[in-house]
Chain A
Amino acid sequence: MDVREPGDRQQALAAAVDKVLAQFHPQSEFIFDELVVSLPPQAVKAACQLARDDADLAFDYLRCLSVVDLGERRQVVYHLYSTRHRHKMVIKAALPADMPAIASVTSIWPGANWHEREARDLFGVTFEGHPKLTPLLLWEGFPGHPLLKSYPVSGLEDRG
């Protein structure tokens, strides 16, 4: 277990991320105790693989996977945690809204499976390479993606 002070741990995390993910030119900053890293979408899967396997990062736990609707872009957000080093990182990747697709990270963290199915249900993001990208919360044939800003609150159907 890492017994260093929180500030020291954050500096070590920032240095390790700069070194391990250097090939992706990450833009990173600390927001509270989380290191927020913005990456191009095509680099996310390789970066996640490195973040999990590198001994200094060791992000073995995907805490959350969410999507933000930013209008012309949709931002996929990965919240990572290391149970060994007890540090946190957030990876953000912005996708074009007309064709939102990104590589699945289910092969890295099996827990991403249902997160990605839910994200596809509610935001329409396609996760390429997902083993079974079927609806999780909604039902087959549900029209639209309800958490998009453009979706009417009461639904697309005629409510009578």
Chain B
Amino acid sequence: MAVNSEPRPHVVPNHLPPDLATPDRGDGLEGVLVRPLYQRMLPKVITTRADTLFGLARKSSLWPLQFGLACCAIEMISTHMAHHDLDRFGIVMWPSPRQCDVMIVAGTVVKKMAPTVKLLYEQMPEPKWVIAMGACAISGGPFAKSYAVVRGVDKVIPVDVYVPGCPPRPEALMDAYMRLQDLIMERARGNGRQGARG
């Protein structure tokens, strides 16, 4: 079997500057093993504001509190499972409020449950955000006229993002996460809505 002495094709993308391509190795693997992505794509020095840096960190690891109140919770669970895979955005469900950043109010808030929702919110450390998912959490939805239902969770806790739908599709909840990330960066840059909640 003859040894292929032909040089291997150069696979480093053309748009990379030459100094970022693999240095000559002398073993025929030039251009095959390239430096890690973060070395190739990022400059060596980043200058930014601390707030922006914190904003980047916050928006990249949003941990929602794992609890559901009604049928919207089924869509929320679906969103976080393998098919939609929110783990790729750093969004991981967590079953304790002490380590959570985001509360998703997924479902009808009844008056008997409202104090518990408020307590869970208060147990979460700052900074924290709230997504009101579905018609019930926004306004009481089809049960708004009931004697037992809170007409919108924003009567109990402050809400950052509202997701309409009955229930919203997983794509809508994913869009809400994107909006929340934008919101976090806007506030970090100082040109968004300001408040004590970060």
Interface residues of A (CB under 8 A from B): 138-139, 146, 151-157, 159
Residue of B nearest to A146 (CB): B147
Report the minimum CB–CB distance from B113 to chain A (whole Å): 11
- Note all chain A residues with C-beta closer than 8 A to B147: 146, 151-157
Contacts of A155 in B (CB 8 A): 146-148
Contact for A154 among B111, B112, B145, CB less than 8 A? B145
CB distance from A43 to the nearest CB of B (A): 35
Quick check: is B151 within 8 A (CB to CB) of the other chain? yes
Interface residues of chain B, those whose CB is within 8 Å of chain A, are 111-112, 145-148, 151
The answer to whether A153 touches B112 (Cβ under 8 A) is: no
User: What residues of chain A lie closer than 8 Å to B151, measured between beta carbons?
Assistant: 159
Closest to B151 in A: A159
Name A156's closest neighbour in chain B (CB-CB).
Answer: B147
Q: Specify which chain A residues have a CB less than 8 angstroms from the CB of B148 in the assembled complex.
A: 146, 155
Q: Which residues of A contact B111 (CB under 8 A)?
A: 139
Q: How far is the CA of A159 from the CA of B148 in the complex (A)?
A: 11
Q: How far is the CB of A156 from chain B (nearest CB, A)?
A: 8
Q: Give the complex CA separation of A157 and B111 in angstroms.
A: 12
- Closest chain-B Cβ to A24's Cβ sits at a distance in Å of 38
Q: Looking across the interface, which residue of chain A has its beta carbon closest to that of B111?
A: A139
Interface centre among B112, B147, B148, by most A CB within 10 Å?
B147
B146: chain A residues within 8 A (beta carbon): 153-155
Chain B residues closer than 8 Å to A156, beta-carbon distance: 147
19 contacts between A and B (CB under 8 A): A138-B112, A139-B111, A139-B112, A146-B147, A146-B148, A151-B147, A152-B147, A153-B145, A153-B146, A153-B147, A154-B145, A154-B146, A154-B147, A155-B146, A155-B147, A155-B148, A156-B147, A157-B147, A159-B151
Cβ–Cβ < 8 Å partners of A153 in chain B: 145-147
Nearest CB on B from A107, distance (A): 29
Question: 10 tightest A-B contacts by CB?
Answer: A155-B147, A154-B145, A146-B147, A153-B145, A139-B112, A154-B147, A153-B147, A153-B146, A159-B151, A154-B146
- A139 shortest CB reach to chain B, Å: 6
Measured in the bound complex, the distance between the Cα atoms of B113 and A139 in whole Å is 11
Q: How far is the CB of A76 from chain B (nearest CB, A)?
A: 23
Q: How far is the CA of A157 from the CA of B149 in the complex (A)?
A: 12
